[in-house]
Amino acid sequence: MITVENLTKRYGAFTAVDDISFEVRPGSVVGFLGPNGAGKSTAMRMMTGLNPPTSGRALVLGRPYRDLPMPGRHVGVMLDASAQHPGRSGREVLTLAAMHLGLGADDVAHALNRVGLTDKEAGRRVGGYSLGMRQRLGLAVALIGQPQVLVLDEPANGLDPQGIHWMRTLLRGFASAGGTVLLSSHLLHEVQAVADEVVMIGRGRIVAQGRVDELIQAGGVTVRSMDDGALARGLQAKGVDVTPAAGGLTVSASAEDVGRAALEQGVVLLELRTGAEGGLEELFLQLTAADARDAA
């Protein structure tokens, strides 16, 4: 369980994180999304005790991260997979993490196997690892203590399609076993595939949060017909908001209501779809357009 309450971080006159509140419940995966510079990493650093908040608080398993006894046994954290000593082997990095947590060689072997790093790969120096291998090693460090909570920043960065599928299966399995997962990622199609809920922030503030399917469905219904004008008049007569769109109409009503209105008007429907056509990616772009680096 992660609880974020009115979390705020200011650096002088600049507010990096501005009064955000949300929960990540056991058994769920929550995507933490936002453009570069939106405050995601700062918020995750506050959740994991690396940065003190200006105000508000973040609790993990009911306590501030720093108050957890042996935090690595409760919370697996990966905020920067490249932050590993390049001169050490993967096994040495993981062995040091195990020693810190009071774990042994069997735990190291289990963690390596869990993330798909072979004995040969584990014996290589981290400086020679690909980005994807570094991600797997970072995950092994996060998982070695058998935590109840995972806090991951861009865990799929550098993974190939097979690796991304493996990551999705691992995180869903972790949540299905009662674990709690908060992940930040720019791979929005993958977030849509793996996450139960999302929290989107822009300029440090939450711009949307909720279940992925509900947020996408909130995009309304897009319809194209043989006579869009007649259909629009029929829907507006029922008090439905209708907006012309490229090649059709965007309607703030259910697909069933649109179908009934078309039947009453004697209009043949050519296309009817619910939600944002591009799914979570389109919703993200709409909601964070003003905060993106390339907004202009």
pTM above 0.85, yes or no: no
pLDDT tens series, the chain, 296 aa = 999 999 999 999 999 999 999 999 999 999 999 888 889 999 999 999 999 999 999 999 999 999 999 999 999 999 987 788 999 999 999 999 999 999 999 999 999 999 999 999 999 999 999 988 999 999 999 999 999 999 999 888 888 889 899 999 999 999 999 999 999 988 888 888 899 999 999 889 998 899 887 777 666 678 889 999 999 999 999 888 888 876 788 887 788 889 999 999 999 999 887 765 557 777 777 667 666 555 44
Q: How far, in Å, CA of 108 to CA of 99, rounded?
A: 10
Closest by alpha carbon to 45, among 168, 169, 184? Answer: 184
Q: How far, in Å, CA of 151 to CA of 98, rounded?
A: 18
List all residues 6 or more positions away from 286 whose beta carbon is below 8 Å from its beta carbon: 276
- Other C-beta atoms closer than 10 Å to the C-beta of 37 total 15
Q: Which domains does the chain have, with CATH numbers?
A: 2-212 (3.40.50.300), 220-274 (3.30.70)
Q: Which residues pair with 58 in a beta bridge?
A: 4
Q: Please state the length of the chain.
A: 296
State the DSSP code for 48.
T
Answer for the pair 16, 38: CB distance below 8 angstroms, yes or no: no
State the DSSP code for 20.
E
Q: Which residues pair with 17 in a beta bridge?
A: 9
